Amino acid sequence: MRTPALTSRLRPFTSTIFAEITELARRTEAVNLGQGFPDTDGPSGMLNRARRAIGEGVNQYPPGPGEPELRAAISAQREADYGLAHDPDTEVLVTVGATEAMSAAMTALLEPGEEVLLIEPYYDAYPVAVAMAGGVHRSVPLRPSDTGFALDTAALRAAVGPRTRAVVLNSPHNPTGTVFTEAELAAVAEVCRDNDLIAVTDEVYEHLVFDGPAHRPLATLPGMAERTLSVSSAGKSFSVTGWKIGWVCGPAELVAAVRAAKQFMTFVGGAPFQPAVAHALRAERDWLAEHRADLHRKRDRLSAGLSRAGFGVLPSHGTYFVCADVRPLGYSDGSEFCRALPERVGVAAIPPQVLCDDPSRIRHLVRFAFCKRDEVLDEAVERLLRLG
């Protein structure tokens, strides 16, 4: 039987290593720092608002664009934090998590064969979303060093071709923990303006920046508001990754195109969670500040432990993740290291090289998640110390 065309297009992106390591972690009872699942819940006021919504009968389809209360809260948050004004009726769309927002955006924007620039290592859903829309992705590298990761802006400019339609920018960046600098954002904006490209920005970690200035959306740069679709969600910021409440904001024409694609994907989702997220955006800012400070502390706790265990630890300025160099421990390949680690010392990590078209630049790196309880992080470090 002939392999379906879509299956063939997606085959290059269907790495099994995530499933392998998850299964190894389960079988060996390893401390799983591979997956970015927080092990604490979000603010009690938000959780109680969801419970109340269920009891009040908010259990049927919400409006297609999302509950008006939530769209208004998203619009208010964007204006308060970044000075970006979005009409909640036409320029804000609620989605089933940020992943659906990205997939719907690619479906809406791309004609078959058009190209999208991805910055690698990329979140694994990006190339899949492009391929499912019939598009083609081209990768631009983040280059690692002891001081962190830097965008190759010359490679970004060189990657633009006559069929390039869009650029995807993820900042704060998963898997590296990088927060793009003002100069890097300016370079991305310049490439978009000079080549009439649309930017699709994944900002799900927008509130989880630990050092230096706060998150700066690409849409705030000159000439970018009219050509940027900004994607975010509640999952990471408010520690409810299972709720899958995301959103996309941008010019009405672009948001309408995304809405046209989205309505035939999931139609709607998460009715009782939408008023709870609206509450969180309005009323849980103090909790969010405490959450950010706690994650900052956990980042430092894990980074110090990894250094004691012999890793070369790269800076992480946001997200849930820190990357570490395995070469000081006598390894050269992160995938081999991660496959051996659960059985060797009972810890799971992820090799970001599987999130690249060209893995050579970061083959020596592994990614650990620090969004765990202190005792979990400490146990992982104690086990990793056995590597020495």
pLDDT in tens, 172-212: 999 999 999 999 999 999 999 999 999 999 999 999 999 98
| pLDDT per residue as tens digits for the range 108-128 | 999 999 999 999 999 999 999
Residue stretches of the chain with pLDDT short of 70:
1-5, 11-15
φ and ψ at residue 243, rounded to 5 degrees: -75, -30
The answer to whether the beta carbons of residues 249 and 230 sit under 8 Å apart is yes
Q: β-pairing, 136-145 with 92-95?
A: unpaired
Coil, strand or helix: which one is 189? helix
Per-residue exposure over 286-308, b if at least 16 CB sit within 10 Å of its own CB, e if not: ebbeebbeebbebbebbbebbee
The answer to whether the beta carbons of residues 135 and 116 sit under 8 Å apart is yes
Q: β-pairing, 347-348 with 31-32?
A: parallel
In angstroms, what CA-CA distances link 320 with 22, 214, 265, 279? 18, 16, 28, 24
Angle at 97 between CA 96 and CA 101, to 5 degrees: 85
DSSP E strand boundaries for 58-163: 92-95, 115-120, 136-145, 148-151
pLDDT of residue 15: 66
pLDDT of residue 332: 96
In angstroms, what CA-CA distances link 155 with 134, 176, 178, 190, 292? 24, 19, 18, 14, 33
pLDDT of residue 16: 79
Tokens standing for 62?
Answer: 């919400």
With tokens 């389960």, the residue in question is: 26
